[in-house]
Structure 1
Amino acid sequence: MTGSFDAVIVGAGQAGPPLAGRLTAAGMTVALIERQRIGGTCVNFGCTPTKTLVASAHTAHVVRRGAEFGIDTAPPQIDMGRVRARMRSVVASSRDGLEAWLGGMESLTLLRGKARLTAPDTVEVDGETLTAPRIFLNVGARPAQPDMPGIKGMPYLTSTTILELDRVPKHLVIVGGSYIGLEFAQMYRRFGADVTVVERGPALIPREDPEVSQAIRGILQAEGIAVRLDADCIALAPSSEGVCVHVSCDEGVPEVHGTDVLLAVGRTPNTDDLGLDAAGLSADTRGFIPVNERLETAVPGIWALGDCNGRGAFTHTSWNDHEIVAANLLDGADRKVSDRVPGYALYIDPPLGRAGLTEAQARAAGHRVRTASRPMTRVGRAVEKGETQGLMKVVVDADTGTILGAAILGPGGDEAIHGVLDLMTAGVPAEGLAWAVPIHPTVSELLPTLIGDLI
């Protein structure tokens, strides 16, 4: 097929389909190209499957703790075949719903195949040529595969391939102590595996403030997860058990032996085979496509959305990318990436919810700050649930009273943080939260208390 369209969207992740919906509703003809699975990383390899597995692992953990709540239960028996089947069912339902939505869009042509730019207004898909004055790149990212010593010829898992396991590893060694690695660490520990996390840096999730990072480490270690930090010479080698991970640490043995190894060391944009040069584009040193505040590339008529632009690596930022582009293109708006307040979550249990800047980031940006924090041992709701690990913290500009950021590591932290996100988005100063009358007993009710300590 050779044809002309008003717009071509490459990639059916979290930005592509809703953008197609906005464009077709505005009367445009749109071609949407996907070479793998509709829904991209989130639906197929990220949010949906991993949080489904987290739910199964949480259920096993609750059963084991029954006696603490006066309920005698037998130790849980983990059937990973059934756990995986449930995950696949949830993923399939999400993907099917998305495909049905796309199938109902008038003026949309959905193409399956590998897309490649051949000119600023031309895309080839498996030998077919499509032209359009507007091209939107939503090609996503994949697990990074580092060139570490010993990796060639060694079997290893990634955040994608580990989803296919129908067994519990005897000893899972995870290289990478950030968000993806830690979620799998706790998950598989709760499924019954011995787990060791190997992190090159001096702390887990080092972008967080030290007290948050330390609290997360304590949560994981309390469940029996071994943590090896300052591993500055990581290498893989065969072992009688399966795999040997060489490390160089200030403390502990110089190597860890496990049956399986998961590499959770970041993600790489899917831009290397996109033909960027033919369209006059180039990626940066990490493979991201540079964009401006409106998500426009250096070539007029080409936008980059989602993980491939380096301006956010989450489903919600990808979705917001489509909102920015659609509002500017169709509604005459002037929306920018810098308008959004950064927020994200770490889905260990209890989860971490993060809004805005950490204290360190705020100080580095030149703010004079005041902070307030409270351990979960002093939050009634956490005590009642028997989940007292973690803390909550808020960062406020000392001169203006503006809320700069907050972290909630505790029960429902991923939900409770939205109160702060919403206030920051609305531009409400900290004082506006101090006199709220929150519901008791909740975790969120302590936010006004924290703010009250600062004004």
Structure 2
Amino acid sequence: MEKADVIVIGSGQGGVPLAVDQARCGRKVVLFERAALGGSCINYGCTPSKALLAAAHAAGRARLAAPLGIHAEVKVDFERVMERVRSIRASFSQGIERRLTEAGVRIVRAEASFLDPQTVTGGGLQVQSPLVVINTGTGPAIPELPDLKGLPLLTNLNIFDLEKLPRCTLILGGGYIGLELGQGLARLGSEVHIVHNHDRLLNHEEPEVGEVLAEALSRDGVHLHLDCEVNEAIYQNGICALTLADGQTLRGDAALLAAAGRIPNTAALGASAAGIDLDKQGYVVIDEHFRTTAPGVYAIGDVARQPAFTHVSWEDYRRLQAILNGEQRTRSDRVLGYAVYTEPQVGRVGLTLDQALAQGHRARAVTLPMAHIARAIEWGHDLGFYRLVVDEDTDKILGATLVGYEAAEIVHVLLAHMQAGSTWKILEQSVHIHPTYGEALPSLARLLTQ
């Protein structure tokens, strides 16, 4: 039995900086990781997907440039695209290992499980510590379909290992992973079919968001099968066939991508041995200060049902570090923003109008189409809209939905206003540079004066 001051289970974007900071303070830190260092973001999520989309969107923009008078013939070197994706991923992961090692963190490359609240075992090692932090994240949910388990299934865990572009890719799920990868593969040259069991894409967002993205995807040749269930999945002679409830049969060349949600990586933790409660879906139950139901055990990131974004996991590390130092932080004490990296992008912050009204705000929303923004017209990016939600009693900005070119960047302006407690009147009075996409934000706020 070894002794440590801190045990971290999982090397995601919250666990790594926490382990490093604790080690640099002179504490003995042991980090368990069963897979590649860096967690989902570096290995299966943000880093490889955005590297792939860099190539895909370059190709897509060129093909769709005819309205600008540009007629391009695009040739995609898929092998080179994927080599670049994997080289960036490897570089980032190696950087994580160097960072941990230089800080003095002991890395145990094994799956970890609890023997009791203060004892963790893995790789033939038992470690005891008064402080344990769980940062194991989530993994892809596999739909429960007949014969699906026998198929050579793609998920975000293995899709970036592809050597050859699938001629036809079938995707289960119309959430952000399915849409980003679906549009990306289509722009790289694959015939893509997205099967979604809701009547609109990104069904957790406002209806207009899904409508805009459906139009954008159709321009890229993506086939959408909405409000559709799969009755049967068959794999034979290198072909995957899906039979839909409406009688259609879709065939892909061994390329079926499951992107229908996430499940927590808690099955191997042995949570019950430590007295750690899990909810009905298997997520770790925590309080406002990240404490689990076991003494001395904390959980951060999406394994604890925090929003599944890298920046949230990283902020969870900062919150927990502050709490451990005696400061007053809670699990949701910052304004939350996020983005979807389709083209057009979706930038979101705070509440939608429906959410604001449900929470009791006397709220109002205004919307500005991208087709009314000079920069969008000039650059040919007129698909989408900007929407602002405000509190009519306080003038505070409650939230925003931006759908347009580089909306993931533009939304930070509104996030900063909200974090500072600013109002829409301050935004309306701001003088933004012309011609820019950001210039439209004061124009959007001015709609509230009408």
User: Which bracket does the TM-score occupy, shorter chain normalised?
Assistant: over 0.9
> What runs of 5+ residues in structure 2 fail to find an aligned partner?
none
Query: 1:106-150 CA deviation, whole Å, 9 max, x = no partner?
Result: 4x2222111111011011122211011000001111111122123
Higher mean C-alpha displacement, 306-315 vs 257-266? 257-266
Q: Quote the offset at 1:408 in angstroms.
A: 1.1
Equivalence for 2:90: 92
Question: What is the CA–CA distance in structure 2 between the aligned matches of 1:377 and 1:62, rounded to whole Å?
Answer: 18
Is 1:261 the equivalent of 2:256?
yes
The 3 A distance-change label for structure 1 pair 426 and 226 is same
Shift of 1:67: 4.7
Query: 1-side partners of 2:2 and 2:122: how far apart?
Result: 11
SS at match of 2:103: coil
Q: CA deviation at 1:383?
A: 1.5
1:142 aligned partner, one-letter code: G
Amino acid at match of 1:85: E
Q: Quick one: distance in 2 between partners of 1:45 and 1:224?
A: 26
Q: Which residue of 2 aligns with 1:340?
A: 334
Aligned to 1:152, the other structure's residue is in SS state helix
Q: Which residue of 1 aligns with 2:25?
A: 26
What is the distance in 2 between the residues matched to 1:80 and 1:113?
34
Return the offset for 1:241.
7.7
Question: Is the CA contact 1:230–1:248 (under 8 Å) kept in the aligned structure 2?
Answer: no
Asked if the contact 1:241/1:257 (under 8 Å) is kept, the reply is no
Q: Report the equivalent of 2:186.
A: 189
What is residue 424 of structure 1 aligned with on the other side? 418
Task: Tell me the amino acid that sits aligned with residue 30 of structure 1.
Answer: V
Deviation at 1:374, TM superposition (A): 1.0
1:360 is matched with which residue: 354, 357, 361? 354
SS at match of 1:370: strand
Alignment partners' CA distance in 2, 1:232 and 1:361: 28
Cα distance, 1:233 vs. partner? 4.5
Paired position in structure 2 for 1:284? 279
* Letter of the 2:209 counterpart: V
Determine the C-alpha separation between the residues in 2 that align with 1:235 and 1:318.
Answer: 37
Structure 1 segment 98-177 matched on structure 2, within 5 A: 98-106=96-104, 108-177=105-174
CA deviations 1:212-242 (Å, max 9, x no partner) are: 2211111111221111111134431246782
Give the Cα separation in 1 of the matches to 2:260 and 2:341.
17
Conserved 8 A contact 1:394-1:405: yes
Give the Cα–Cα distance (whole angstroms) in 2 for the partners of residues 71 and 230 of structure 1. 37
Q: How far does the alpha carbon of each residue in 1:427-453 deviate from its partner, in whole angstroms, 9 at most, with x for none?
A: 212222111111221111111121122
Structure 1 residues 155 and 302, CA gap change in structure 2 (3 angstroms)? same
Note if contact 1:7-1:133 (Cα within 8 Å) is conserved in structure 2: yes
Judge conservation of contact 2:230–2:242 (CA < 8 Å) in 1: no
Paired residue for 2:77? 79
Task: After superposition, give the CA deviation of every residue in 1:16-44 in whole Å (9 maximum; x if it has no partner).
Answer: 11101221233322111111111011001
**SS of equivalent residue, structure 2 residue 23:** helix
Residue 242 (structure 1) aligned with residue 236 (structure 2)? no
Q: 83-92 vs 379-388, which deviates more? A: 379-388
- 1:322 correspondence with 2:334: no
Q: Which moved more, 1:383-392 or 1:234-243?
A: 234-243
Give CA deviations for 1:297-354 in whole Å, capped at 9, x if unaligned.
Answer: 1112100011210111110111011011001112x21111221222111110121110
Structure-2 separation of matches of 1:415 and 1:99: 30
Distance 1:226 1:288, change over 3 A: same
SS at structure 1 position matched to 2:150 = coil
The amino acid of 2:109's aligned partner reads: R
SS at match of 1:337: coil
Alignment partner, residue 62 of structure 1: 61
Tell me whether 1:311 sits opposite 2:306 in the alignment.
yes
Identity of aligned residues (%): 39
Equivalence for 1:448? 442
Kindly indicate whether the alpha-carbon contact (under 8 Å) linking 1:118 and 1:275 is maintained by their aligned counterparts in 2: yes
The equivalent position to 1:293 in structure 2, one of 288, 294, 308, is 288
Q: Distance in 1 between matches of 2:248 and 2:94?
A: 48
Which secondary structure state, in structure 2, belongs to the residue aligned with residue 454 of structure 1? helix
Query: Are 2:60 and 2:220, in contact at CA under 8 Å, matched by a contact in 1?
Result: no
CA distance in structure 1 between the aligned counterparts of 2:166 and 2:99, rounded to whole angstroms:
38
**Aligned counterparts of 1:237 and 1:359: Cα–Cα separation in 2:** 43
- What whole-Å deviation, never above 9, does each CA across 1:90-120 have from its counterpart, x for those lacking one? 11111122221112114x2222111111011
> Would you say the 8 A contact 1:201–1:230 is kept in 2?
yes
Greater displacement, 155-164 / 314-323 = 155-164
Question: How far apart, in 2, do the equivalents of 1:412 and 1:63 lie?
Answer: 17
Letter in 1 for 2:116: A
SS in 2 for 1:281: coil
**Secondary structure of residue in 2 paired with 1:95:** helix
Q: Write the distance in 2 (CA, Å) between the matches of 1:156 and 1:101.
A: 34
CA offsets 1:25-72 (integer angstroms, 9 cap, x no match): 333221111111110110011000000000010121233245544445
Instruction: State the Cα deviation string for residues 381-427 of structure 1 (Å, max 9, x = none).
Output: 11222111111111112222221110111111000000111111122
**Closer, same or farther in 2 for the Cα pair 1:213/1:66, shift >3 Å?**
closer
Write the letter of the residue equivalent to 1:323: R
Alignment size in residue pairs: 448
Aligned-pair RMSD on alpha carbons?
Answer: 1.7
- When the two structures are superposed, what TM-score results if normalisation uses the length of structure 2? 0.96
**In structure 2, distance between residues paired with 1:271 and 1:355:** 29
Paired position in structure 2 for 1:48: 47
